[in-house]
Structure 1
Amino acid sequence: MGDKANAHPGAAGRATAADHPASVRNVVLVGHSGSGKTTLVEALALTAGAVNRAGRVEDGGTVSDYDEIEHRQQRSVQLSLVPVEWGGYKINLLDTPGYADFVGELRAGLRAADAALFVVSASDGVDGSTRMVWEECAAVGMPRAIVITHLEAARADFEEMTRICAETFGGDDPDAVLPLYLPLHGPQSPDGHAPVTGLIGLLSQKLFDYASGERKESEPGPEQLPDIQEARNRLIEGIIAESEDETLMDRYLGGEEIDVKTLIDDLERAVARGVFHPVLAAAPAAEGARQGIGTVELLELITGGFPTPLEREAPSVTTPDGAPREIGAACDPDGPLVAEVVKTASDPYVGRVSLVRVFSGTLHPDETVHVSGHGLADRGHEDHDVDERIGALSAPFGKQQRTLTHCIAGDLACVAKLTRAETGDTLSSKDDPLLMEPWEMPDPLLPLAIQAHSKADEDKLSQGLSRLVAEDPTMRLEQNPDTHQVVLWCLGEAHADVALERLRSRYGVQVDVVPHKVSLRETFADKSAGRGRHVKQSGGHGQYAICEIDVEPLPGGSGIEFVDKVVGGAVPRQFIPSVEKGVRAQAAKGVAAGYPLIDVRITLRDGKAHSVDSSDAAFQTAGALALREAASDAKIHLLEPVAEVSVLVGDEYVGPVMSDLSGRRGRVVGTEQAGGGRTLVRAEVPEIEIDRYAVDLRSLSHGTARFGRRYTRHEPMPPQVAERLRERAKEN
């Protein structure tokens, strides 16, 4: 790490194919929007020699030149890979969006990585969503470190932010979250602000000064030693407490001076095991400087302390038909091919590009692989079980794609020409098809109803939507058979905005957003009767059909029941199905406000026919007329769908959440403790009231709550709400 030696230059920054999994590090950067993740990636790329001092790659562009939408929105909206080399290691930096709407991109980054850097702004602190991701990483034992950024801010306080991180992330063991370095401050300015110019290594007790633009090492002054010693002792005790050498603590307490190499080795093992989480500081390079503050130390932590792909457990795989399958040693380049598409994107020049993490075997360009996946048919993503020939392999760098000769187990690469594969699909040998267990994706719960802007757009809409959904497994496409609307289910407003922008700019489809409709129903509140008379004589073959029906309500979920009680052949047997067909057709159209009729029993009790003029069509019409007459004399209930809503929320927000649900005509049916200071609130809420609940709940809970919804039943709508909808239906 930074205390090991002076800065050494990285490789030239060229992303070449890794030769062995032990030389690969896959690191995902996590943090809230604006915490400085992308800036940090650029600073690391500069220090590693992958970009020049202007922040540009050798063949043009910057590492952040990836998506025009990101530039317009001034924030990251998708996962991006930046591979760099340092000290003989290939480091795949996975930069993730910090905004909650793009959590699917974050989860893809977590799936592809073996360790996580949590980026925390010294001026903004730790938000609730970052805490939730930390808990997810802790649950699976992913190694984590913390990087504090924005030290140049006037109110930045490294020591206070380190304390907050220890309280937030340390849980029952705050001494497992400790700094490896302290900030080195330069001379105070007239306003009293002392800028950070470097770092003080606690283990080596050396100063690493970046003020000149290059990292320079020196000895601390006598006035600095007391502060260094206090923090150093605490760090040593924290490292020893997590050491696998049980004698180390006794030796330390006995007064023995533990050598720095032993401490660093134990620190690296503790970090790789995910039981110790070092805190570092970083700042981008000043203009003209070659290295940003803390970037060398961070690169050395990544290469020395973060685990190799070999230390990750072998993925759980099956055959495509579900039979368990062992693939042997984890991350074996000579093992059976098992790779996963963690991201899908469309390039205007080369078509679909898939970012792939190889877990076993070696992937070669122009070979035929089997594509299996992936259990998201309910979101508009079809399952796959096909062979495909892949195109070139490459490593992305901004807008550039650098050709790779192969991609071994543990590494990542971009694959061209996978026309069928989608995010989450498994790539394996065509002779030995395998399927990886998919990772959990959040359920999109914000509906966006759209329609083509013009006839030309209508012709391109279907293809544009299918390609859009193929890229994003957190998006669900619905063609609602009841409302006849095309609905994109998204994670939030920003997610929806990006989807619309991609449809327009990437696929050339202009759409209009229309009000989202819920699937309402109608039913009879009480018994009624109706007579349908369809008699027409026009000189030739006429039409003659009369039928009389009784209608009575049934319990919810009964549907429509048709009963024949005609006696004496008043309606000939061959025309009974005709009456039923006409009744059901009218029920599907509705009898009051134009919504389908459900939960009634319709009894045909009498009628009349003509030996010549009666026909199938005549009795269908008579059946429909009879149902409409019965409805005109009856009270009709408008039924609305009710969802069971489960909200997982911090205890401090339980009151506001329950109050908000009640204001949405919801009925809270129970609460239960979920651990970790959170409560699960269960309620039944009309779906018409929770169209925007994904947005409103995020605001209410400061982004810390999650919810799920499940349709339960239709039930009568309050009269005043139903009347408003009926009036609206009449206007339309």
Structure 2
Amino acid sequence: MGATSHQAGAAGRAPTADRPSSVRNVVLVGHSGAGKTTLAEALALTAGALNRAGRVEDGATVSDYDEIEHRRHRSVQLSLVPVEWAGIKVNLLDTPGYADFVGELRAGLRAADAALFVVSASDGIDGATRAVWDECRDVGMPRAIVVTHLEAARADYSQMTSICGEAFGADDPDAVLPLYLPLTGPAGPDGHAPVTGLLGLLSRRVHDYSGGERAERDPDPAELALIDDARSRLIEGIIAESEDETLMDRYLGGEEIDLKTLIDDLERAVARGTFHPVLMAAPAADGARQGLGTVELLELVTGAFPTPLERAPVAVTTPDGEARPAVTCDPEGPLVAEVVKTSSDPYVGRVSLVRVFSGTLRPEETVHVSGHGLVERSREERDLHEADERVGALTSPFGKQQRPLTRCVAGDLACVAKLTRAETGDTLSSKDDPLLMEPWSMPDPLLPLAVEAHSKADDDKLSQGLARLVAEDPTLRVEQNPHTHQLVLWSLGEAHQDLALERLRTRYGVQVDPVPHKVSLRETFGSRATGRGRHVKQSGGHGQFAICEIDVEPLPPGSGIEFVDKVVGGAVPRSFIPSVEKGVRAQAARGLAAGHPLVDVRITLCDGKAHSVDSSDAAFQTAGALALREAAGQAPIHLLEPVAELDVMVPDEYVGPVMSDLAGRRGRVIGTEQAGPGRTRVRAEVPEIEIGRYAVELRSVTHGTGRFTRAYARHEPMPAHLADKVREQP
């Protein structure tokens, strides 16, 4: 922002913080391919944390060092890149941009105090990035925008700043403005002029990066004219957010506002989350030490982004739910830390990335681990779990390296080794005073994949492997469906699904085979019917004799199975009537026409016969089952399919396509309503068999901007032509 020089941190040394005021926690947000990881590396190089552009000593990148990320050429997990600038430790939280890994993004938002939105000058801003901006706005998180890919042939910084203003400044366009303009060099053969420096709008200075490091000079007359054209609007935008209400009148009256006042007001407005500067950045050229705009960005982060001390106090309770006073960011306060990410290291085992909100975390001390699962787990809440565990080594990650730390003060982040019982979202606190933080919101996984162990050896390890996956990633859910008897892995999308299976295979040595996912179908009688079950056998010795007659009639949906005894005269002895019911219910559970459980019928035992010697419990169970099967042969058996109630949230422009898509899935729209500016909630009832891949297909229909939740509504008859296809399946 200004012309101040700063000393970078030294390569090979872990940045440390001895107090919360010397920490900045910043999450990098943006769509896949926007350049978040490249930006993190460029900032690390400028801060002196790297020995050469984008690499640490072992040749790995500082963020995407996971082998899976290398193979996929895409970030799939939250990565911490700590750097030091001007005596301030900056924790850069690099998040995946792909929608399937939104759980990693939310973990980054939880751990951060401010956000850098990274947007590509060549690709623009997608709907998912706008949605995250709105979420940050709703909670008051300070934000700034960084424009990347300025080297692209079609990149236009001026146009991009206008797009940012439209996308992010809907409430106040003058709150989203650039701090710098690009300084361009001679155009190349393709006609594109490379950006070689920045024109500082507040300082009226030129920051020239053409030599590999920032060099400052005064602007020439043409450059000064460009600066002054944009400077007035920026100053008015800053003054509009100033706490000094006289400043605007003084400025409009012709008074020249001094640079320090403007910078101070800018930094306060950014820290409050009311002004959002736009900057630009590019990686360093070969042999250069500083990337374009990286010094200015580090100045903004250290000077304008809030310290952890400015974060609102954190609400806590005891593990049994008793309210306790909210904790503040005080290194001397009670220990309250949260596991924001869990991963596995082949050498040290489980590694937990922890944000300390209060107190100081030290190696080799015993802490209390407690957690209760994460919210929005619509069908399954994990039970409260508690344990005392000894903290292993505290480290600061940098690529594959783990650099040791002697402590982690309130407001800082660190990796903790060997917390074997801790899961993502758990709270660490003093074993003598256990506390529990309110969990953060995570999306419910809605894409199912049924799996089977590939071999007996895999089957023995499958349960433990899946449990470890879910402990690391709370956006995965494992379900043992009691109706279909399938083991189902629920995820956020196909890429998330593939990643889970790859980690299961490579980390835990478990191979699984995908199988078709089944929905829980039911059967019911279409009309009244009668049946006679006769089980009579005499083959020497003790025989078997049981005869029963039943009447079956359909009941309204949701009635289940009702058994009625109307036997008179002792035709079936009282002691064997429960046997008939047991046999009938067992046959109903096995199904009649297509092997699905029978529901919504009343079965009345009307008559029967018994033998004083050969009748038995087993015989009457068999007779009851035979009677029900005979009745099924006399009446149409309807297949019932589960129907889900969908709650779909979409931008207004996609309401039509979404409703059309739902209609194509045999869905019934039961209502629409406004759900905030520019968004609509669509409620519909859709057969579950039609929405197995809806998590993927809604994303396609809405260009990644739609979200939905689902809940079971009821079972209802399946259309005859579809029911026939189900019956034909082996």
Q: TM-score, normalised by structure 1?
A: 0.98
Separation in 1 of the partners of 2:315 and 2:268?
25
Contact 1:28 1:94 in 2 (8 A): yes
What is the match of residue 529 of structure 2?
A: 528
Contact 2:318 2:435 in 1 (8 A): yes
Asked if 1:173 is matched to 2:163, the reply is no
Asked if 1:80 is matched to 2:100, the reply is no
What is the match of residue 515 of structure 1?
A: 516
What is the match of residue 96 of structure 1?
A: 95
- TM-superposed CA distance for 1:387, in Å, is 1.4
What is the match of residue 184 of structure 1?
A: 183
Contact 1:166 1:178 in 2 (8 A): yes
Spell out, residue by residue over 1:624-679, the C-alpha distance to the aligned partner (whole angstroms, 9 max, x if none). Answer: 00111111111111000000011111111111111110110000111111121111
Contact 2:373 2:381 in 1 (8 A): no
Asked if 1:580 is matched to 2:581, the reply is yes
Describe how 1:430-449 pairs up with structure 2 within 5 A. Answer: 430-449=431-450
**Secondary structure at 2:256 match in 1:** coil
Asked if 1:348 is matched to 2:349, the reply is no
Contact 1:7 1:215 in 2 (8 A): no
What is the match of residue 595 of structure 1?
A: 596
- TM-superposed CA distance for 1:59, in Å, is 5.8
Percent of residue pairs bearing the same amino acid type:
80
Separation in 2 of the partners of 1:613 and 1:566?
20
- TM-superposed CA distance for 1:381, in Å, is 4.4
Contact 1:379 1:477 in 2 (8 A): no
Of stretches 690-699 and 556-565 in structure 1, the one that deviates more from structure 2 is 556-565
Separation in 1 of the partners of 2:478 and 2:287?
49
Separation in 2 of the partners of 1:116 and 1:168?
16
What is the match of residue 666 of structure 1?
A: 667
Spell out, residue by residue over 1:269-307, the C-alpha distance to the aligned partner (whole angstroms, 9 max, x if none). Answer: 000000000000000000000000000000010000000
Separation in 1 of the partners of 2:697 and 2:278?
34
Separation in 2 of the partners of 1:555 and 1:364?
63
Separation in 2 of the partners of 1:666 and 1:502?
36
Asked if 1:396 is matched to 2:394, the reply is no
Contact 1:381 1:469 in 2 (8 A): no
Aligned length: 727
Spell out, residue by residue over 1:561-607, the C-alpha distance to the aligned partner (whole angstroms, 9 max, x if none). Answer: 11111111111111111111111100000011000001111111111
Contact 1:51 1:57 in 2 (8 A): yes
Spell out, residue by residue over 1:355-395, the C-alpha distance to the aligned partner (whole angstroms, 9 max, x if none). Answer: 01010111111111111112358558443122111211111
What is the match of residue 337 of structure 2?
A: 339
Separation in 1 of the partners of 2:44 and 2:667?
52
Q: Which amino acid aligns with 1:571?
A: V
- TM-superposed CA distance for 1:189, in Å, is 1.7
Separation in 1 of the partners of 2:63 and 2:106?
20
What is the match of residue 245 of structure 1?
A: 244
Describe how 1:396-475 pairs up with structure 2 within 5 A. Answer: 396-475=397-476
- TM-superposed CA distance for 1:557, in Å, is 1.1
Contact 1:370 1:428 in 2 (8 A): yes
Separation in 2 of the partners of 1:351 and 1:5?
44
Spell out, residue by residue over 1:110-144, the C-alpha distance to the aligned partner (whole angstroms, 9 max, x if none). Answer: 00000000000000000000000000000000000
**Secondary structure at 1:223 match in 2:** helix
What is the match of residue 680 of structure 2?
A: 679
- TM-superposed CA distance for 1:66, in Å, is 2.5
**Secondary structure at 2:724 match in 1:** helix
Q: Which amino acid aligns with 1:258?
A: I
Q: Which amino acid aligns with 1:359?
A: F
Spell out, residue by residue over 1:684-712, the C-alpha distance to the aligned partner (whole angstroms, 9 max, x if none). Answer: 00000000001110000000111111001
Separation in 1 of the partners of 2:58 and 2:645?
54
**Secondary structure at 1:463 match in 2:** helix
**Secondary structure at 1:316 match in 2:** strand
Aligned CA distance change for structure 1 residues 256 and 10 (closer, same or farther; 3 Å)? farther
Contact 2:37 2:64 in 1 (8 A): no
Of stretches 300-309 and 313-322 in structure 1, the one that deviates more from structure 2 is 313-322
Contact 1:384 1:421 in 2 (8 A): no
Spell out, residue by residue over 1:155-191, the C-alpha distance to the aligned partner (whole angstroms, 9 max, x if none). Answer: 0000000000001100121110000011110112233
Separation in 1 of the partners of 2:302 and 2:652?
40
Separation in 1 of the partners of 2:66 and 2:553?
59
Asked if 1:270 is matched to 2:235, the reply is no
Q: Which amino acid aligns with 2:370?
A: S
Contact 1:483 1:518 in 2 (8 A): yes
Spell out, residue by residue over 1:333-356, the C-alpha distance to the aligned partner (whole angstroms, 9 max, x if none). Answer: 111111111001011111111101
Q: Which amino acid aligns with 1:659?
A: S
Contact 2:562 2:602 in 1 (8 A): yes
Spell out, residue by residue over 1:497-544, the C-alpha distance to the aligned partner (whole angstroms, 9 max, x if none). Answer: 101111111111111111100000001111111010000001110111
Separation in 1 of the partners of 2:292 and 2:702?
35
List alignment gaps of at least 5 residues for structure 2.
Answer: none
Contact 2:42 2:53 in 1 (8 A): no
Describe how 1:521-670 pairs up with structure 2 within 5 A. Answer: 521-670=522-671
Q: Which amino acid aligns with 1:326?
A: P
Aligned CA distance change for structure 1 residues 9 and 420 (closer, same or farther; 3 Å)? closer
Contact 1:380 1:469 in 2 (8 A): no
List alignment gaps of at least 5 residues for structure 1.
Answer: none
